[in-house]
Amino acid sequence: MDFRLTDDQRVLRAGVRELLEGRFPRERLRAVVDAGPPVVDRALWRELGGAGFFALRLAEADGGVGLGLPEAVLVFEEAGRALLPGPLVATHLAAGVVAGAAEGRAVVTALDAAGQAASGSAGPLVEHLASADAVLVIGDEGDGGGEGGGGGEGGGGIGVRSAAGLARSARPVRSVDPATPLHRLDRGGGPGRGERWSATGPTGRRSAARLRREAVLLTAALQLGSAARTVEMAVRHAQERSQFGRAIGAFQAVQHLCAGMLVRAETARSVVYAAAVTEDASEVAAAKLLADEAAVRNARDCLQIHGGMGFTWEADVHLHLKRAWVRAEQWQTAAEAEEGLAAGLLAGL
């Protein structure tokens, strides 16, 4: 079987990279980080919608692009490489369900109600709640529908809530990533009076388990993009920075760090791409596990290669590390991925 990218996939990836380099360069990233409490750039969101970012997997008959999960992974990898902020995964999954999401006119965040149930007394976290118009709620498969909570008609634990309604039972918490604001939902915070919580359309007909699996894989793709980008940053700095009259890339210790970063990124890439084809739960868990490790450890090694300047606010290395930390806790943690892989191995015995 040939797992190499097709010509169309290469063109798609190059086109998305060119779009993001033009619409979200480093200067725009720094403006988001330095501006204070971050909000979603609505103009950029509409540009992404116009480019088909959110409607990529929506059928052409429904106004979408009509591509598949492998293509979505390539697009999200580029978004991770650019450190594009905002609830990208949730808005993508909500295309065709929430009015305006596919076109980028609506910002949709997500509440992983079942996935965060293990957080003890603390409620689940929601990103970019203050900027969102709606919240995609993914709970247990057995959740009921209607105004009492859960998944709506036939939704199987999938629902849509208004962001304003959810915000009444949430409080802001400090985020390690300056470009990803977080709110913690109070335990027991259900729909408000007169607020409808329902699911319709293509997403409403998909199971909560499948929707969460897609969210895990797309988050892994974001991590993969960040891991690959930090490899580029480390290699460039090692070529440009001189010490003792020679580029630091000539020293074996730096070469080993860069080689290890490349191995982690390419290993994660192969698993993420394979999981996009098979959509197997165990392979998706492995993809998230390896992509999280590559993103976090590569950012740390990149920071090490940059030396003292890597710790400064002006350097971009710390932004990749902080975003990687946040994403590693979204949708599926390392512990949850390991448990899923172990269950899959036991089931195959």
Coil, strand or helix at 166: helix
Question: What structural domains does the chain harbor?
Answer: 7-206 (1.10.540.10), 209-347 (1.20.140.10)
Region of residue 142 (left: phi > 0; alpha: psi -120 to 50; beta: else) = alpha
Closest to 301 in 3D by CA, of 245, 247, 226? 226
End-to-end CA distance of the chain: 26
Residue 221 CA from chain centroid, whole number: 7
CB contact burial 269-284 (16+ within 10 A = b; e otherwise): bebbbbbbeeeebbbb
CA–CA dist 278, 284 (Å, integer): 9
Place of tokens 């940053």: 233
CA–CA dist 310, 301 (Å, integer): 10
Closest to 98 in 3D by CA, of 204, 212, 207? 204
pLDDT tens-place values along the chain, 349 residues long = 567 899 999 999 999 999 999 999 999 999 998 887 788 999 999 999 999 999 999 999 888 999 999 999 999 999 999 999 999 999 999 998 899 999 999 999 999 876 655 555 567 899 999 999 999 998 765 444 333 333 333 344 788 999 998 999 899 999 999 999 999 987 655 444 434 444 444 444 567 888 999 999 999 999 999 999 999 999 999 998 878 878 888 888 999 999 999 999 999 999 999 999 999 999 999 999 999 999 999 999 999 999 878 778 888 999 999 999 999 999 999 999 999 888 888 887 7
Angle at 133 between CA 65 and CA 67, to 5 degrees: 10
Query: Within 10 A of 99 (CB to CB), how many other CB atoms are there?
Result: 13
- N residues, the chain: 349
Coil, strand or helix at 109: strand
CA–CA dist 309, 329 (Å, integer): 27
